[in-house]
Amino acid sequence: MSESEKITIVEGPTPDFEPNSEPCILAMSEGPEIPYTTRCILRTFNGDDLLDRCRTAWKQGRAAYLEFTNLSGIPEEALILAARLGEVEAGEVLNLWLRLENWPSELSDTDDYLDIEP
């Protein structure tokens, strides 16, 4: 099996994860358990390259992961479900929709993940 693609956050803080509000992301992450899906926005100087790496991996049937250091300083990775490049006043940003292995600690008291409408 081919090796997965990895996008690593080399510098900067732990990404800010926000509750997923897009039903299509939940559908892409179906399984026997409710998935921990979230979105994060990362500033980047090479967003086109990062987006191309994800697209190439997906076309080849490989997974793409975001590698980051959590708030406790422990390295983690999250499966990238979707990616989109955007612009903000400060520059280029990469929007990533992710499936996490664990609930993000900063969202553990949030019920937004469980508000799934039929």
| Residue 117 domain flag | no
Residue 63 domain boundaries = 5-110
In a domain, 9, yes or no: yes
Count of H-run helices and E-run strands, the chain: 2, 6
* Tally of structural domains, the chain: 1
Is 118 within a domain? Answer: no
* 49 located within any domain: yes
Average the pLDDT over each of 11-15, 39-43, 89-93 and give the range with the smallest value.
Answer: 11-15
Does some domain include residue 105? yes
**What does the pLDDT look like over 89-117, one tens digit per residue?**
888 999 999 988 776 655 544 444 444 33
Report the phi/psi class of residue 12: left, alpha or beta, with left for phi > 0 and alpha for psi in -120 to 50: left
| 115 within domain boundaries | no
Q: What global pTM score does this model have? A: 0.78
